[in-house]
Amino acid sequence: MRIALFVTCVNDVAFPSTGIATVRLLERLGVEVAFPEAQTCCGQMQYNTGYPAEAAPLAAKFARDVAGYDAVVIPSGSCGAFVRDVHPKLAPAAATPPVYELTEFLIDVLGVEDVGAYFPHRVAYHPTCHSSRLLKLGDRPTRLLRAVAGLELVELPAAEECCGFGGTFSVKNPDVSAAMGADKVAHAVESGAEYLVAADNSCLMHIGGTARRSGAPVRTIHLAEILAATKETAVTV
Amino acid sequence: MTGVYLGLPAFPEAARSATKNTRMRANLTRATHTIRDKRARAVAELEDWDQLRAAGKAIKDQTLRHLDRYLLQVEEKVTAAGGHVHWARDADEANRIVTELIKATGETEVVKVKSMATQEIELNEHLAAAGIHAYETDLAELIVQLGEDRPSHILVPAIHRNRTEIRDIFRDRMASWGRPAPEGLTDEPKVLAEAARLHLREKFLRAKVAVSGANFMIAETGTLVVLESEGNGRMCLTLPQTLISVVGIEKILPSWQDLEVFLQLLPRSSTAERMNPYTTMWTGTHQGDGPKDFHLVLLDNGRTATLADEVGRQALRCIRCSACLNVCPVYERAGGHAYGSAYPGPIGAILTPQLRGTETELDRSLPYASSLCGACYEVCPVAIDIPEVLVHLRAKVAEHAPGHRAERTAMKAATYAMTHPAAYRTAEAAAVRGRKLIPAKIPFGPGKAWTDTRDLPDLPAQTFRQWWKETHA
């Protein structure tokens, strides 16, 4: 099986460690990973801000870039949901291989829960809105986390509440966005976790940026980076 | 847009001050979380909730598709049962009709049943200008009216107030509207309810005219249905001689069998009750029982235009339950007033710009008043995909409204770069190289909006793409 990694533009530029972790994890599990280098962005920002005509060429381009692979894996719930739910409307003629968010691929396709990871820390899982309400990842991420050696999973209060990122919402309504972010950080601190983990770096950028500005004692990390970590390759975030 | 909501600031600006109002936010958080949790329990009791929800959606869609036919059926049945039907194209026409009907009775005061349609058309303000006093009789609406305030929630209009504030409003304001609050009023819920009961009883017994809305109109018999929790609505609907009901044209259900679905969906979604406490139904007029004169004012006010929009029309399925408000993280922090309309929260953000249009900065800002988290869609009993409509309305605003030129240029540039790999690689490399030049607090624009409260991520030394080239090429 040869999969195409769609790393997402945010991960490519701002969080390459997530992309690297995804590659290392999948290769460790024996998957042949390709990175179609023409890939750029899924177009979600344009579409959700009200520019469907600007998003449509990106949907068509996505289909061209991933054509011929057995599957596409995306380490982002939000981009994954957008590709799966909205791309067919934007580029109806395009045929793409099946598209999976990372935890779907691990659990549903590879059938693994224990990926052989080691992460000796206390973590809380934040189910980002698009990964839970659109993709309906359910307990896939926490099943994977529970199988990580050394990891203690603690409960995040009000976990299902939005962190307030919301794409351009974060700058169009900065006060409400910040108020939501502050509450999410407070809940993360309340959980006692060292790390807040999620399947979306865009949300984590907002939560992490809020935590860092306020000096809150919690760090953010993408799920892929925990799953990629082993005793030999400890993660330092 | 007239009177009450004229000249209000755009949503982000109104929300800014609301987020700093710690007392209001505490009141809202406590109240919305309580109702939210109760609703979740009430809905979980029904094994067939998903089927009920699908049925509710299907009934509404089918009715809206044949609305022309059902409206004529309502007119025919109501008229045959002794009622009078009036058609109002917009708020002005509806207000004029109601004012003239009241004037014809010779009365100068009316009691009101809680009604969203009359708030939408700002009926009370129009009646006041015509010298007619309209007394709100729903407890929460009474609090809002006495406090010279605006409702901030569809179901719980005074949700932004706590009981100490309500005690103060009753103590200070009741006397100028009628019977004063009893001496030594405390903030005990029972004591406050008794004060309201005494104050309102005087109005019920005196009133000759009542004004209401309706939750449903049943086409096959011309029956109107009002659901409420206090019994105050029942007083207004049965005691006065004249009853005038202002009802949006989308409130029709074809049959009594359809009503059965909604009598399950609405109470559990709104008040988290298994069964609605006071359900009043009436068909025209009856000799020796209830009002002698019944007038139905059918209100369009932007609904036909909304119906013409294939994506936006689903907003007309709304049964005003408020479940979307109670789960909305944006509503919880911005408060209902920031939405600048009778319809706050997620449903307001898609209903107001469709009913009123997007002429004002406020109405244009509403489709953006959401993080698109989807909590509203999840709880909506008639499955209105609110995020889908929000994004659809954003596209309409971006296309037609002024002030979006710079944003469109930026989006076009982003798409150009992202469809031209060479341009993309250049931009990407520049972003990584230029990152260290960006200050921790950017002084203007979206950058300022971000860095006012949040750090930017440290951009890494190389992009993923560069790493891949080095390790896999």
The answer on B171 and B25 residing in a single domain is yes
Nearest CB to A173; choose among B12, B415, B418 = B12
pLDDT (0 to 100) of residue B406: 82
Q: Count up the domains in chain B and report the number.
A: 2
Q: What is the pLDDT of residues A81-119, one digit of tens each?
A: 999 999 999 999 888 999 999 999 999 999 999 999 999
Structural domains of chain A, with CATH: 2-110 (3.40.50.1860), 122-228 (3.40.50)
Looking at the domain assignment, is residue B23 inside a domain? yes
A&B contacts, CB < 8 Å? 182
Looking at the domain assignment, is residue B79 inside a domain? yes
Lateral strand order in the sheet of A122-125:
A152-154, A122-125, A195-198, A219-222
Average pLDDT of the residues in B9-36: 94
Q: What is the pLDDT of residues A42-65, one digit of tens each?
A: 999 999 999 999 999 999 999 999
The answer on B421 and B283 residing in a single domain is no
Structure tokens at B414: 């982003």
The percentage of residues in chain B with a pLDDT greater than 70, rounded to a whole number, is 99
Looking at the domain assignment, is residue B313 inside a domain? no
Looking at the domain assignment, is residue B118 inside a domain? yes
Q: What is the pLDDT of residues A180-236, one digit of tens each?
A: 999 999 999 999 999 999 999 999 999 999 999 999 999 999 999 999 999 988 665
pLDDT (0 to 100) of residue A30: 97
Looking at the domain assignment, is residue B344 inside a domain? no
Average pLDDT of the residues in B160-180: 95
The answer on B294 and B415 residing in a single domain is no
Asked if B283 and B232 count as a contact pair (C-beta separation under 8 A), the reply is no
Report which of B212, B386, B175 is spatially closest to residue B291, judged by C-alpha positions.
B212
Looking at the domain assignment, is residue B208 inside a domain? yes
Q: What is the pLDDT of residues A4-44, one digit of tens each?
A: 999 999 999 999 999 999 999 999 999 999 999 999 999 99
The percentage of residues in chain A with a pLDDT greater than 90, rounded to a whole number, is 96
pLDDT at B175 over 60: yes
- Measured between CA atoms, the residue of chain B closest to residue A19 is B464
pTM of the model: 0.95
pLDDT (0 to 100) of residue B2: 54
Which residue among B282, B303, B324 closes a domain? B303
Tell me which residue range forms the domain holding B101: 3-303
Give CA angle at B156 (B264, B208), nearest 5°.
Answer: 90
d(CA B154, CA B449) in angstroms, rounded, equals 31
If one counts every other C-beta atom within 10 angstroms of the C-beta of residue A25, the result is 25
- Measured between CA atoms, the residue of chain B closest to residue A49 is B394
Asked if A161 and A130 count as a contact pair (C-beta separation under 8 A), the reply is no
Confidence of residue B441 (pLDDT cuts 50, 70, 90): confident
The alpha carbon of residue A46 is apart from the nearest alpha carbon of chain B, in Å, by 6
- To which H or E segment does residue A65 belong? helix A52-66
The answer on B99 and B246 residing in a single domain is yes
- To which H or E segment does residue A72 belong? strand A71-74
What mean pLDDT is reported for chain B? 95
Nearest CB to B391; choose among A48, A54, A182 = A48
Does B369 lie at the interface with A, CB-CB under 8 angstroms? Answer: yes
Nearest CB to B450; choose among A16, A171, A182 = A171
Confidence of residue B243 (pLDDT cuts 50, 70, 90): very high
The answer on B187 and B41 residing in a single domain is yes
d(CA B468, CA A38) in angstroms, rounded, equals 13
Asked if B338 and B15 count as a contact pair (C-beta separation under 8 A), the reply is yes
DSSP B98-154: HHHHHHHHT-SEEEE---HHHHHTTHHHHHHHTT-EEEE-SHHHHHHHHTT----SS
The alpha carbon of residue B400 is apart from the nearest alpha carbon of chain A, in Å, by 11
pLDDT (0 to 100) of residue B43: 98
Looking at the domain assignment, is residue B241 inside a domain? yes
Q: CA–CA distance from B236 to each of A226, B113, B179, B211, B420 (Å)?
A: 63, 6, 18, 8, 67
pLDDT at B293 over 50: yes
The answer on B279 and B152 residing in a single domain is yes
State the CATH number of the domain containing residue B273.
3.40.50.10420
- AA identity, residue A54: E
Lowest mean pLDDT among A53-62, B160-169, B433-442: B433-442
Whether residue B412 and residue A9 make contact (CB cut-off 8 A), yes or no, is no
Looking at the domain assignment, is residue B207 inside a domain? yes
pLDDT (0 to 100) of residue B434: 75
Strand pairing partners for B299? B88, B248
Report which of B32, B25, B24 is spatially closest to residue B322, judged by C-alpha positions.
B32
Asked if B367 and B394 count as a contact pair (C-beta separation under 8 A), the reply is yes
pLDDT at A237 over 70: no
Which residue among B303, B323, B341 closes a domain? B303
pLDDT (0 to 100) of residue B459: 83
d(CA A9, CA A18) in angstroms, rounded, equals 12
Does B337 lie at the interface with A, CB-CB under 8 angstroms? Answer: no
Residues from chain B contacting residue A162 (CB–CB below 8 Å): 329, 371, 373, 375
Question: Between β-strands B216-218 and B223-228, what pairing exists: parallel, antiparallel or unpaired?
Answer: antiparallel
Q: What is the pLDDT of residues A109-124, one digit of tens each?
A: 999 999 999 999 999 9
pLDDT (0 to 100) of residue B1: 46
d(CA B324, CA B344) in angstroms, rounded, equals 10
Which residue among B303, B331, B359 closes a domain? B303
Does B407 lie at the interface with A, CB-CB under 8 angstroms? Answer: yes
d(CA B206, CA B133) in angstroms, rounded, equals 13
- Measured between CA atoms, the residue of chain B closest to residue A48 is B391
The answer on B194 and B59 residing in a single domain is yes
